[in-house]
Copies of this chain bind each other. A is one copy, B any other.
Amino acid sequence: MGGDHGPEVVLPGAELALERRPDIRFALYGDEETINRLLENYPRLKAASSVHHCTISVKMDEKPSQALRNGRYHSSMWRAIEAVKTGEADVAVSAGNTGALMAMSRFCLRTMANIERPAIAGIWPTLKGESIVLDMGATIGADAQQLIDYAILGGAMARALFGIKKPSVGLLNIGVEEVKGLEEVRTAARLLREADLASLTYAGFVEGDDLGKGTVDVVVTEGFSGNIALKAAEGTAKQIGQYLRSAMRRTWRTRLGYILAKSAFDMLREKMDPSKVNGGVFLGLNGIVIKSHGGTDAEGFASAVELAYDMVRNELLEKISQDMVSYQRGGFQDRIDNEKAESQKAGDQ
């Protein structure tokens, strides 16, 4: 029921994903009448789906606390997440209210053992292909331990998504000399280097312009700067698109040039198409939840479903669990606690 267009986009999106991943089975949560009426247009999807009537759907502008109060146990959003908890579903996909989806996911699925806070991981198109960036704004701020958790979560996702054995992970930082980054970013860097994890290669600090270059497979940052980087990049892409369109309309020569080079512009549009990389992955929970962009079209929603499918098929959760266990065996939590105690002592003196 979520997103700007509800089932009108979700159902054709699911149909598209089903064409490309024919073994998906859908459990659809929402208003039965609306869903059944629309499903008549998609006989193939209908055959692959069960419909579960829900009387409540979370509104796009509801605050997470409100959504939890009004929609816990009964809303379509809650029941889709709950299906992951009970094992009826392998993964939940929603185009609904991000804050509500995260709040319900945390409440219903709980965070994994030894992970304090979940993160939203996004896929960033780069000159080399794609990278994973997290946290995209699940929470604001992160201490060294949380940044290390994000590194492990993102590393596991890169193994599941890209099939890389030992993905490279960078910490987002700024390059001005005097202030080589936040204390917590520096601490996380030192500990990641010392930990020398089997599951990932710590590649050092990266800066904002490394995102587009694809310098590393996984970029780790806290949610405030991650969200701002994402939106600044999206805004710049739109801005350039608009410049280009108005420049191309200027004279008959540029218009003719545009017609001749249309295939190149189509390619550029394809590269910059946000629906191609649609889907924020909630990481760190006992279950996988994928957030599709609310304003996406059927093609975009299909991308989110296929991302969900791939995360399940490539055993994302199992990979995370393995990586967490091997990390904890290294005793790094103790080391961080010691560091904290020591730096406090130093501060007191």
Within 8 A of B (CB), among A202-220: 207-213
**A228, B228: Cβ atoms under 8 Å?**
yes
Secondary structure at the A interface, as helix, strand, loop or mixed, is helix
- Residue in B138, B212, B225, B261 whose beta carbon sits within 8 Å of that of A261 in the complex: B261
**A137, B174: Cβ atoms under 8 Å?**
yes
One complex includes copies of this chain to the number of 2
Assuming the A-B contacts A232-B229, A235-B213, are A137 and B176 also in contact, with contact meaning beta carbons closer than 8 angstroms in the complex? yes
- Residue in B140, B209, B243, B261 whose beta carbon sits within 8 Å of that of A179 in the complex: B140
Count of chain A residues with a beta carbon within 8 Å of a chain B beta carbon? 73
**B223, A99: Cβ atoms under 8 Å?**
no
**B235, A211: Cβ atoms under 8 Å?**
yes
A233 at the interface (CB under 8 A from B): yes
A249 to B271: give the CA distance in the assembly, Å.
Answer: 16
Q: 1/0 per residue A164-194: CB within 8 Å of B? A: 0000000010111111011000000000000
A195 at the interface (CB under 8 A from B): no
A46 to B138: give the CA distance in the assembly, Å.
Answer: 58
Assuming the A-B contacts A212-B235, A235-B208, are A182 and B253 also in contact, with contact meaning beta carbons closer than 8 angstroms in the complex? no
Q: Which residues of B contact A155 (CB under 8 A)?
A: none
**A229, B208: Cβ atoms under 8 Å?**
yes
- Residue in B63, B98, B234, B257 whose beta carbon sits within 8 Å of that of A257 in the complex: B257
One of A31-39, A108-116, A262-270, A326-334 at the interface: A262-270
**B227, A224: Cβ atoms under 8 Å?**
no
**B257, A271: Cβ atoms under 8 Å?**
no
**A264, B240: Cβ atoms under 8 Å?**
no
Q: Which residues of B contact A223 (CB under 8 A)?
A: 174, 176, 179
A254 at the interface (CB under 8 A from B): yes
A237 to B127: give the CA distance in the assembly, Å.
Answer: 12
A55 at the interface (CB under 8 A from B): no
- Residue in B178, B208, B261 whose beta carbon sits within 8 Å of that of A258 in the complex: B261
Q: Which residues of B contact A140 (CB under 8 A)?
A: 174, 179, 181-182
Q: Which residues of B contact A221 (CB under 8 A)?
A: 228
- Residue in B175, B212, B260 whose beta carbon sits within 8 Å of that of A232 in the complex: B212
Residues on A lying within 8 angstroms of B by beta carbon are 63-65, 97-100, 102-103, 126-127, 137-141, 172, 174-179, 181-182, 207-213, 221, 223-225, 227-240, 242-244, 247-248, 250-251, 253-254, 256-265, 267-268, 271-272
A-B contact pairs, 13 of them (CB 8 A): A98-B177, A100-B177, A140-B179, A141-B182, A174-B223, A208-B230, A208-B232, A228-B228, A247-B267, A248-B261, A254-B263, A257-B259, A257-B260
